[in-house]
């Protein structure tokens, strides 16, 4: 296998597991991180022990210049990009009346503009090669909405809109674009939840557990190897949300 992938936000949580899964599958992975350099280095070293490899690249993907740097680095080093996983994201729990304009800008730029901008940057190469797979990690909240997470839900619904429209635009160039919309996954993003909250969620979930980052990574790997799925929002949530 000679595929090349960029995974944004790969220092922790879901992105880290995706980078790991893809590297183990033989894909050349550029694992992006922003603030958590130590964790990114740890991922690289952990994989190296088993003779697997990820390349690390620091970039704040909420910023256009840094998205460009990430893509240029990948193209200079590997000459092509087959796979883009837009995973970097943040969440803030607040009533709508308390959200400041700075917070709005931060959430929109980190979760949504980053995905749009990374697509803009990788697409010329993918279109030239008539080959590509883009996966946006959105959320069940983008599908059904979440109280006190209005901005987060807007960003994730926006990602799903990006998925559907871009799939139509670039399908003729053999580029597939899909969203994976996770339910609750055990990562730092949910560290504020109490044990009682988690147990309640488990009870509400047909498969009686919350998700693991590996559950999402496995679905990413499946989508990469698929040939005929595009424009879809695939929700991995143990049956918690069935639409």
| Binding residues vs ligand NAP (CB under 6 A) | 8-9, 11-15, 32-36, 60-62, 87-90, 110, 137, 139, 182, 184-185, 187-190
Element (H, E) at 54: strand 54-58
Closest contact distance (angstroms) between CB of 109 and ligand NAP is 8
Residue with tokens 């909420």: 62
Asked about 152 being catalytic, the answer comes back as yes
For residue 111 the two structure tokens come to 């979760």
Q: Give 1 or 242: the residue with its C-beta nearer to ligand NAP.
A: 242
Q: Give 87 or 230: the residue with its C-beta nearer to ligand NAP.
A: 87
Residue closest to 59 by CA, chosen among 21, 80, 30, 79: 30
Q: Give 39 or 131: the residue with its C-beta nearer to ligand NAP.
A: 39
Closest contact distance (angstroms) between CB of 31 and ligand NAP is 9
Q: Calculate Rg over the CA atoms of the chain.
A: 17
Q: Give 174 or 202: the residue with its C-beta nearer to ligand NAP.
A: 202
CA angle 30, 34, 38 (to 5 degrees): 85
Q: Give 132 or 211: the residue with its C-beta nearer to ligand NAP.
A: 211
Closest contact distance (angstroms) between CB of 226 and ligand NAP is 20
For residue 6 the two structure tokens come to 């960029």
CA dist., res. 217 & res. 180, Å (int): 10
Closest contact distance (angstroms) between CB of 172 and ligand NAP is 28
Closest contact distance (angstroms) between CB of 10 and ligand NAP is 6
CA dist., res. 159 & res. 27, Å (int): 25
SS (H, E, C) 118-182: HHHHHHHHHHHHCCEEEEEECCHHHHHCCCCCHHHHHHHHHHHHHHHHHHHHHHHHCEEEEEEEE
Q: In sequence order, what are the residues at sequence separation of 6 or more whose Cβ sits closer than 8 angstroms to the Cβ of residue 174? A: 130, 131, 132
- Return the active site residues: 152
């Amino acid at each position: 296998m000679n595929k090349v992938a960029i995974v944004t936000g790969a220092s922790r949580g879901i992105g880290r597991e995706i980078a790991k899964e893809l590297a183990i599958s033989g894909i050349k992975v550029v694992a992006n991180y922003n603030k958590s350099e130590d964790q990114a280095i740890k991922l690289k070293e952990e994989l190296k022990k088993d003779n697997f490899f990820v390349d690390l690249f620091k970039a704040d993907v909420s910023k256009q210049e840094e998205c460009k740097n990430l893509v240029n680095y990948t193209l200079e080093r590997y000459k092509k990009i087959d796979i883009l996983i837009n995973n970097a994201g943040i969440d803030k729990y607040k009533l709508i009346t308390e959200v400041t304009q700075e917070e709005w800008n931060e959430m929109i730029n980190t979760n949504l503009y980053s995905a749009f901008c990374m697509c803009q940057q990788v697409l010329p190469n993918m279109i030239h090669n008539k080959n590509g797979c883009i996966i946006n990690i959105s959320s069940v909240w983008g599908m059904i909405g979440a109280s006190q997470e209005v901005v987060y839900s807007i960003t994730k619904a926006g990602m799903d809109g990006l998925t559907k429209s871009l799939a139509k635009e670039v399908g003729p160039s053999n580029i597939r674009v899909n969203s994976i919309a996770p339910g609750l996954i055990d990562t730092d993003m949910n560290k504020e939840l109490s044990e009682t909250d988690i147990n309640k969620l488990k009870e509400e979930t047909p498969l009686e557990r919350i998700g693991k980052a590996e559950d999402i990574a496995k679905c990413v790997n499946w989508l990469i190897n698929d040939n005929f799925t595009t424009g879809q929002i695939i929700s991995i949530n143990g049956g918690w949300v069935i639409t």
